[in-house]
Amino acid sequence: MDNKFISELLSWLKALLIAVVIVLVCRHFLFTPSIVKGESMMPNLQDGGDRIILSKISEIERFDEIAFEAPDSEDNYVKRVIGIPGDSIEMKNDHLFINGKEYKEDYLTAYKETLPEGGESLTNDFTLYNLTGEETVPDGKFFVLGDNRRVSKDSRSFGFIDEESIIGDVKMRIWPLDSIGWIN
């Protein structure tokens, strides 16, 4: 009887250890959870409430939401990739131009609709050169903006981010349970 119990216990401990190792390996190399803090990505990501899953193996593309180590603080930031290496960027009359082509920023539509008509623009005019002294985004760098352009601390203030500073690409949002009525 004792032998059977010890054998069963060792079997369970072995299975539990394997599960823990798999979770740790996946979290370190493949994906990681995070919590959004700050208003810079509102209304698409909410401050302190939205939980996100970051893929650590995705190729970063233009308009991806990414998390990265902030170049100007100890925090991690979540922003949207606007410029990838080789891109020239200009914002004119609240319209985004990349390599001379206008891009619609559909993720900003709801926010722009709240602005008074004929009033202030969401994003002030700029060129990449005026902000950074570079004509194009250098190799190994990215230009990022927050969706809440009026309050976002982003590449307009701290410049390019290094590819090595990227933690991951936002692949999934997990809304807090209290927002869907599961917790009061």
3-state secondary structure of 136: coil
* Beta strand segments in the chain, E: 31-35, 51-55, 65-69, 76-83, 89-92, 95-98, 101-103, 126-127, 141-145, 161-162, 166-174
How far, in Å, CA of 142 to CA of 62, rounded?
A: 9
Active-site position among 55, 79, 141, 155: 79
Q: What backbone phi and psi angles, to 5 degrees, belong to 155?
A: -60, -20
Residue type, 156: R
Is 40 marked active-site? yes
Q: What backbone phi and psi angles, to 5 degrees, belong to 4?
A: -65, -40
How far, in Å, CA of 155 to CA of 85, rounded?
A: 14
Active-site position among 14, 34, 40, 152: 40
Active site residues per annotation: 40, 79
